[in-house]
Amino acid sequence: MQPCRLAAYDLACRRGDRLLFKGLAFELHGGEALQLSGPNGIGKSSLMRILAGLLRPFTGHVEHDGIRALADERPALDAHQPLGEALAFWRQIDASTVSGAGEARADFGLEDLLDVPVRYLSTGQRKRAALARLAASGARIWLLDEPLNGLDTHWGASTQAAIEAHRALGGIAVIASHQPLQLRKLRTLSLLEHMP
């Protein structure tokens, strides 16, 4: 895999008239993981969207080497399609844009659900489907917003194993989570320390 890097410089985020955080900075290289912490409403999801390039920061900028992929509460799968077709759509997109797409594939136990329309999947099944889409994307930088929400103990452990496998291949993971994570050498960034 190609080397990757993700860096944030003096980021600030404003939502309406409210400044959520300011002066936020970090740099990550291949194999590293960062957990974003802080209470609800502090700006973790907004920061994830800034890192993904979906939201402009109020100040500062983000630099990245490597394709980024975001998994959040929206699984980015067509709710009316069977799961297998919805995932196949993304495999086609990723295969045409990412060299080596799917190198970090993980088993999320979806084989028996491929003919079920996405809208009928449970919360945990939709979360596993979103994570499977991310893992098969070939993206070097994983942005995971509450990846363990809705997952039972088994699938929570499997998700963390997939993150570790991604890191072992030289990928980066940024994880916003209220739940404790069992990842090696996990750095933590508290958004409370960057409140205005």
What is the rounded distance in angstroms from the CA atom of residue 153 to the CA atom of residue 172? 23
Which is more confidently placed, 94 or 165?
Answer: 165
Specify the number of domains making up the chain: 1
Q: Give the CB-side neighbour count of residue 70, counting CA atoms within 13 A.
A: 18
pLDDT in tens, 65-103: 999 999 988 878 888 999 989 888 888 877 655 544 444
Least confident of 66-75, 91-100, 163-172, 177-186: 91-100
What average pLDDT does this structure show over 157-162?
Answer: 94
Distance CA 123, CA 128 (A): 9
Q: For residue range 33-43, list pLDDT tens digits in order.
A: 999 999 998 99
Q: What is the CATH number of the domain that holds 186?
A: 3.40.50.300
pLDDT for the residue 99: 47
Q: How far apart are CA 4 and CA 6, in angstroms?
A: 7
User: Per residue in 65-103, is it b (16+ CB within 10 Å) or e — as a string?
Assistant: ebbbbbbbeebebeeeebbeebbeebeeebeeebeebeb
pLDDT value at 106 more than 50: yes
Helix (H) or strand (E) holding 47: helix 44-52
Give the global pTM. Answer: 0.89
Please indicate whether residue 78 or residue 55 has the higher confidence score (pLDDT).
Answer: 55
**Could you tell me the residue range of the domain that residue 126 belongs to?**
5-194
Tokens of 80: 């009316």
Q: What is the pLDDT of residue 77?
A: 87
Q: What is the mean pLDDT of residues 122-143?
A: 91
* Separation between Cα atoms, residue 104 and residue 170, nearest integer Å: 10
* pLDDT score at 78: 86
- More confident of the two residues 192 and 103: 192
Q: Over 50: is that where the pLDDT of 62 sits?
A: yes
56 near 4, Cβ under 8 Å? no
Predicted pLDDT at 29: 97
State the Cα–Cα distance between residues 20 and 8, nearest whole angstrom. Answer: 16
Closest CA to 32 of 57, 7, 54: 7
Q: Tell me how far apart the alpha carbons of residues 35 and 185 are, in angstroms, rounded to a whole number.
A: 11
| pLDDT band at 1; cut points 50, 70, 90 | low
Residues recorded for the chain = 196
Task: Tokens for 89, please give them.
Answer: 């759509």
d(CA 123, CA 167): 26
Banded pLDDT at 191 (limits 50, 70, 90): very high
User: Which residue in the block uniquely carries the two structure tokens 């919805």?
Assistant: 86
